[in-house]
């Protein structure tokens, strides 16, 4: 349960920072931000895999580039469903979703440092003289 709450917080943080960097994204309240983060996590966990499965040929033809379009569409879907969360257009959602994916990956890498983490950050050891 704690991992779910942390993922939700990371998504909310990413959305909040994206709203400052991309002028086409706005929230009317903290409540709409938190609901948007929750619904975006749900959409990415449930709806996105179904869409990916249905668009495998297009994804293969574009060498995976269509996955970026799917991410943008998930953000636009959430903005259509949550009152108070506005995304001005496709390209705003496209670039914001790329930014959010990178930011969530970096933040998650530092929060969830476990044995199954694919990227290992070497720890610097002191020099013994």
pLDDT at 115 exceeding the cut of 90: no
Closest CA to 109 of 120, 98, 99: 120
Q: Are 27 and 19 in contact (CB under 8 A)?
A: yes
Q: Confidence class of residue 122 from pLDDT cuts 50, 70 and 90?
A: low
Residues in contact with 37: Cβ distance below 8 Å, sequence separation at least 6, in sequence order = 8, 9, 11, 12, 15
| 118 pLDDT higher than 90 | no
Q: What pTM does this model have?
A: 0.79
Per-residue pLDDT band for 7 (boundaries 50, 70, 90) equals: confident
% residues pLDDT > 90 (the chain): 67
Kindly report, residue by residue over 65-85, the tens digit of the pLDDT.
999 999 999 999 999 999 999
Q: Rounded distance, CA 48 to CA 107, Å?
A: 22
Cα 11 from Cα 67, distance rounded (Å): 18
- For all residues of the chain together, what is the average pLDDT? 87
pLDDT tens per residue across span 10-45: 899 999 999 999 999 999 999 999 999 999 999 989
pLDDT bin (cut points 50, 70, 90) of residue 93 is: very high
What is residue 124's predicted lDDT score, i.e. its pLDDT? Answer: 60
Other beta carbons less than 10 A from residue 83's beta carbon: 12
The alpha carbon of 80 is separated from its chain's Cα centroid by a whole number of angstroms, namely: 17
Instruction: Report d(CA 76, CA 94) in Å as an integer.
Output: 9
């Amino acid at each position: 349960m704690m991992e779910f709450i942390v993922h939700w917080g990371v998504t909310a943080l990413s959305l909040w920072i994206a709203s400052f960097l991309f002028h086409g994204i706005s929230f009317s309240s903290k409540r709409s931000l938190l609901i948007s983060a929750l619904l975006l996590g749900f959409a990415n966990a449930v709806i996105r895999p179904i869409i990916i499965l249905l668009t495998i040929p297009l994804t293969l033809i574009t060498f995976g580039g269509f996955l970026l379009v799917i991410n943008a569409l998930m953000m636009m879907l959430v903005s259509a469903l949550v009152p108070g969360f506005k995304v001005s257009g496709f390209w705003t959602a496209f670039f914001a979703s790329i930014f959010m994916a990178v930011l969530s990956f970096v933040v998650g890498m530092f929060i969830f440092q476990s044995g199954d983490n694919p990227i290992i950050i070497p720890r610097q050891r002191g020099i013994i003289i």
